[in-house]
Structure 1
Amino acid sequence: MRSRAKVWGSGLAAGAAASLLAALAGCSLQGRTPDYVNWASHGLNGGETRFSPLDAITPDNIADLGVAWFADFDTRTLRGVEGTPLVVDGVMYATGAWSKVLALDAVTGRRLWEYDPEVPGSAAREGCCGVVNRGVAYHEGRIYLGSFDGRLIALDAATGAVVWQVDTTEEDRPYTITGAPRVVKGRIVIGNGGAEYGVRGYVSAYDAATGERAWRIYTVPGDPAKGFESPAMEMAAKTWSGEWWKYGGGGTAWDSMVYDPELDLLYIGVGNGGPWSRKVRSQGEGDNLFVSSILAVRPETGEYVWHFQEVPGDEWDYTATQHMILADMEWEGRPRKVLMQAPKNGFFYVLDRETGEFLSGTPYVPVTWTRGLDPETGRPDIVPAARYSEEGAPFLGMPSPAGGHSWQPMSYNAATGLVYFPTAEIPYGYVAGDAGAFRFDPHGWNTGQDEAKSSMPEDPEVRKQIAAMMKGALVAWDPVKGERAWSVPMDTPWNGGVLSTAGGLVFQGNASGEFVAYAAQDGRRLWARQMGSGIVAPPVTYAVDGVQYVSVAVGWGGILPLNLGVALKDAMRPRVNRVVTFRLGGDGDLPIPAPAPEAPIARIASDASEAMVAQGRQLYHVRCWMCHGDTVVNRGGIPDLRASPAITDAGVFAAFLREGVAEPRGMPDFGKELDAQETEAIRTYVIKRANDRAGAR
């Protein structure tokens, strides 16, 4: 067995513990049924607005908000925590790193059970952005989990026992799951990630009761010689050139999906092309459907209904997988059913969700890749220089591959008419590699870029200048006017998802480790609490017996902290991975460990040649940078290699890279990809960066 559930029952047998948990969930100690206001689905409601009608906590009394309880995750290391907790009838289900699940009493925080799918440490190398998980789904007494290594697992909500599990992946390609499943008409729908690793995107639906697969649809076409799975794939194939299927094509649906029961449409956000370079992927030609698109399909069959492509021929990692919100609003004098999204590419879109008609698209951050969108079709007027793989010259792009807004969920308050979400302003240098020399790596990072040349410069003064250009904000966006109503500037461009409430509040965690409440109308800062780690996860709120609670998962990490440490120098590095819950009058403790002392800094002797260091830099940025950081700088909890004693001993360093001695903790074994000389070259480059660090002090 590679998965297990542990029931916390004071030594009781599992059956007795299950009976006790079921009893506690259904009645109080006084023998009556409590009143519950649940957060039972990922986005709270059908439109995934993340707006709660609870209004007990207001600007007038928020000063009395205090800690009700906290619960720590048991993690192998401090990793990113991105999950939306679900709360159903007094029980919270929260996910942490490595796809672990905690079931907690939502009033006291008492552990009821925990489940570990035992994702192997070797799986960490198969994902770009950390071993994170964004949450579970609940349906008829079961919890549904997508594990990082590609399984869909049904758990008994009362005990955590496995009911069924299926492997959702196909072929020998490195698919991962980080997104939350969705429940649609008795089916569990799940996508996956891995576009940069050479996979072909698809979405699958499984029977909630049995785990039997109901359907699977692909988001990009496969080899035409093998036939097309659907008319939609035949249509899409006409927008591709060359032999794209050899590289996978990308288009992974790794996060957002939302269902409209009235229209009976399931909307799927589709990711970037893979490799990034369109010249490698599709001979520099075509729109490459359905990358960077929103797909509308029938939930019972997966049948194609319509699509809207935001970035034709994407080659900037501008996914359309970001949170989608469904709302009914007045548009140009008449009611419209709309879908709203602020994807990575920097534009806030409003679409008619019945037809896919483009209604508006306005930049919410500075944009350099396009001159704007066609007002009728929404098609971008792409700047020629932005086609870096075809132009053959570097391109300074904004937004960066991290996006003007990434996966962190938004919130829409119909009363204010505003959408609240975090933004990021980060420049990024796209530099094409030699397309003719491209070699597909089935277990590596395939972008078609020259990874070493697109990495950050090492000159500390230049790095400071670039870091000064990077910033974030909490934005309140008016989707009708297409403009900011207000914004709260932040020094760091990677901040948490958002919750808004009928109490006139907006809650958000940030990179500095604060959990903050703002006034929904004007963004005034009303309350804050230091949490001991940067926060990226979105908060939730629920009520038990008339008492409103607000919870947030805490744990700094994800793509930007791992690989772009220079931009996040002011972020609070993780000291905890936990869930913290607040209530009015709460007086609980919130212990925060002291920061670990920095390792001593000293120069390390090295007689490596410049050529060897240069080779090590190139290899490092192919194999190591996604976890240990661009130019060996990260802020995501992963060890700082510049301070590691392993770099002083060639044998020890090789044991980590080529023998897998730390693979159970998530350090990949590169023994099949790196020979002894290449491993030593990487070590000499890390030593060079360690000496740079020592010199900077």
Structure 2
Amino acid sequence: TYDPVTNLVYIGTGNGAPWPAEVRSPGGGDNLFTASIVALDADTGEYRWHYQTTPEDSWDFDNTQQLVTADLMIDGKMTHVLMQAPKNGVFYVLEAETGRVISADLFVPTANWMTGFDENYRPILNPDANYGAFGDRGFHVVPSAGGAHSWHPMAFSPDTGYMYIPTNYGSFPLVAEAGAKMGNQLLSINVGKSPQMPAPQLEGGGSYLLAWDPVKREPVWEQRMGSSRAGVMATAGNLVFQASGSNFQAFRADTGEAVWSADTQSGIVGGAASYELDGEQYVAVVAGQGGGRGGYWAPNYARLLVYKIGGEAVLPEPISFTPPVLNPPANFGDAEMLATGETHYNANCASCHGDSGRVSSLFPDLKYAAALNSPELFKAIVIDGILQSNGMVSFRNELSDADAEAVRAYVVTLANDLKDNPPPAPAFGGPGGPPPAPAPAPAPELHED
């Protein structure tokens, strides 16, 4: 972020890897300048100041979330500040010129990676959260490694004085294992293992849109129709726009009341933009995440959608599609082979196709892959790279033929488990058919000035 008032450029920095500080830096140390805010002179690039939000980070708490400047009345004095709500769950208000911390408060109900702050606003780390020192014991970090606020843009309204934050309150299991990989990332965590203690029970956990008052240092409202996984835009018309999945919505900025929504047929993750043309206000947003209504095989309806008061355009009807059939072969392989397959799957496949077969991206769900029925075809894809032109590269340098067959055995067990324990049918009428057409949405109450 460039600030013309101070002529400084503010940079949020990433976290270290491997993730466990005990593995990454066994001798200790803060790992300066990871997980920090760094201010540089815009003319010379000279270092001016820094503040490290998460020293000795072990929890994937990168600090790259938006850095917002504003003028706030604090203790009766108008103060030019820099604000950030990073993954670690703390909302920071800093003096923009000097980096002096004015306030640092949890914007989620609890966090267990720290116990508080010292007199210099350095977080006091929880010794129990140093899971890298405890072998297989592990730790469930709160907030989760996905972040109390991830990369999705937050928004500040100078009219209400509130910051609107896509928020997630949850935990994440972490077990250290030096040398363990997630895909090609040397993170030294074993995603196939769980901590020995149960996950914490979090009252009020989940994903929501939060309005935060940076002056009073407290939440104003939360909207559970909102999301932690979509960007936010605030307008001068007392509206906040955000999507939740394929539902694009507007809420009152002062109260959080839902006032408008529109089905977009596809997921939205970025923030919207507003502009004026010939005296009319428009709101534009990009949809196209897909995956929510049929996964990899469904149309993703990637579109730029533009709304205005009185807009009459109607989306085309959803397209029917035929998803693949879950048809794995019988389970095969002994316990040792399956354990080998799980290890290699987590190290080489999980970052795209999901851990334990749970797909969290737009890559195909391997449990439905026809190649599971043919060891020759599976090898041709995984080892020989016959689908490289489609983006599936060869893993010849990482896996032997026997390793690839062990991965196939492991995925077959996941597929058969899903076949024997199917999830509830989708609410829109089962696989293969599109969801019913939504009811017409009311015209958005956009700012007309």
Q: Structure 2-normalised TM-score? A: 0.87
| Residue 648 (structure 1) shift | 1.3
Please tell me the residue identity of whatever aligns with 2:45: G
Please tell me the residue identity of whatever aligns with 1:640: D
Matched with 1:658 is 383
Matched with 2:100 is 357
Matched with 2:284 is 551
| Residue 274 (structure 1) shift | 1.2
Aligned residue runs from structure 1 range 565-580, under 5 A: 575-580=300-305
Q: Which residue of 67, 91, 97 corresponds with 1:348?
A: 91
Matched with 1:507 is 241
Task: Give CA deviations for 1:591-623 in whole Å, capped at 9, x if unaligned.
Answer: 253464443234521321111111111111111
- Answer whether contact 2:240 2:251 (CA < 8 A) is retained: yes
Bigger share in helix? 1
Task: Give CA deviations for 1:490-544 in whole Å, capped at 9, x if unaligned.
Answer: 4x96431000111111100112x10001111101100100111221110000011
Please tell me the residue identity of whatever aligns with 2:186: N
Please tell me the residue identity of whatever aligns with 2:421: A
SS at structure 1 position matched to 2:185: coil
Please tell me the residue identity of whatever aligns with 1:379: R
- Answer whether contact 2:141 2:174 (CA < 8 A) is retained: yes
Aligned residue runs from structure 1 range 376-395, under 5 A: 376-392=119-135, 393-395=137-139
**Distance (whole Å) between structure 2 residues aligned to residue 405 and residue 275 of structure 1:** 22
Question: Are residue 525 (structure 1) and residue 289 (structure 2) matched?
Answer: no
RMSD over aligned CA atoms reads 2.8
Q: Which residue of 408, 411, 429 corresponds with 1:686?
A: 411
**Distance (whole Å) between structure 2 residues aligned to residue 664 and residue 446 of structure 1:** 26
Please tell me the residue identity of whatever aligns with 1:354: E
**Distance (whole Å) between structure 1 residues aligned to residue 317 and residue 305 of structure 2:** 12
Task: Give CA deviations for 1:565-606 in whole Å, capped at 9, x if unaligned.
Answer: 9xx999xx8722221111111111212534644432345213
Q: Bigger shift: 602-611 or 672-681?
A: 602-611
| Residue 468 (structure 1) shift | 11
- Answer whether contact 2:227 2:243 (CA < 8 A) is retained: no
Question: Are residue 601 (structure 1) and residue 326 (structure 2) matched?
Answer: yes
SS at structure 2 position matched to 1:276: coil
Question: Are residue 415 (structure 1) and residue 159 (structure 2) matched?
Answer: yes
| Residue 284 (structure 1) shift | 4.8
| Residue 467 (structure 1) shift | 12
Matched with 1:226 is none
Matched with 1:83 is none
- Answer whether contact 2:329 2:372 (CA < 8 A) is retained: no
CA separation of 1:604 and 1:468: change in aligned 2, threshold 3 A: farther
CA separation of 1:530 and 1:550: change in aligned 2, threshold 3 A: same
| Residue 271 (structure 1) shift | 0.7
CA separation of 1:592 and 1:474: change in aligned 2, threshold 3 A: farther
Aligned residue runs from structure 1 range 114-133, under 5 A: none
| Residue 658 (structure 1) shift | 1.8
CA separation of 1:422 and 1:320: change in aligned 2, threshold 3 A: same
| Residue 373 (structure 1) shift | 2.6
CA separation of 1:612 and 1:552: change in aligned 2, threshold 3 A: same
- Answer whether contact 2:15 2:61 (CA < 8 A) is retained: yes
Identity of aligned residues (%): 39
| Residue 371 (structure 1) shift | 1.5
Please tell me the residue identity of whatever aligns with 1:378: Y
Task: Give CA deviations for 1:106-125 in whole Å, capped at 9, x if unaligned.
Answer: xxxxxxxxxxxxxxxxxxxx
CA separation of 1:669 and 1:602: change in aligned 2, threshold 3 A: closer
Structure 2 runs not aligned, ≥5 long: 423-449
Q: Structure 1-normalised TM-score? A: 0.57
| Residue 402 (structure 1) shift | 0.9
Task: Give CA deviations for 1:232-287 in whole Å, capped at 9, x if unaligned.
Answer: xxxxxxxxxxxxxxxxxxxxxxxxxx011221110000010111121221115000
Matched with 2:114 is 370
CA separation of 1:486 and 1:310: change in aligned 2, threshold 3 A: same
Matched with 1:631 is 356
SS at structure 2 position matched to 1:314: coil
Question: Are residue 446 (structure 1) and residue 199 (structure 2) matched?
Answer: no
Please tell me the residue identity of whatever aligns with 2:138: P
| Residue 299 (structure 1) shift | 2.5
Question: Are residue 313 (structure 1) and residue 56 (structure 2) matched?
Answer: yes
Question: Are residue 326 (structure 1) and residue 69 (structure 2) matched?
Answer: yes
Question: Are residue 484 (structure 1) and residue 222 (structure 2) matched?
Answer: no
Structure 1 runs not aligned, ≥5 long: 1-257
**Distance (whole Å) between structure 2 residues aligned to residue 454 and residue 496 of structure 1:** 28
SS at structure 2 position matched to 1:472: strand
How many residues get paired? Answer: 418
Return the structure number with greater relative CO, CA threshold 8 A, min gap 6.
1
Task: Give CA deviations for 1:22-56 in whole Å, capped at 9, x if unaligned.
Answer: xxxxxxxxxxxxxxxxxxxxxxxxxxxxxxxxxxx
**Distance (whole Å) between structure 1 residues aligned to residue 255 and residue 379 of structure 2:** 55
Question: Are residue 498 (structure 1) and residue 238 (structure 2) matched?
Answer: no
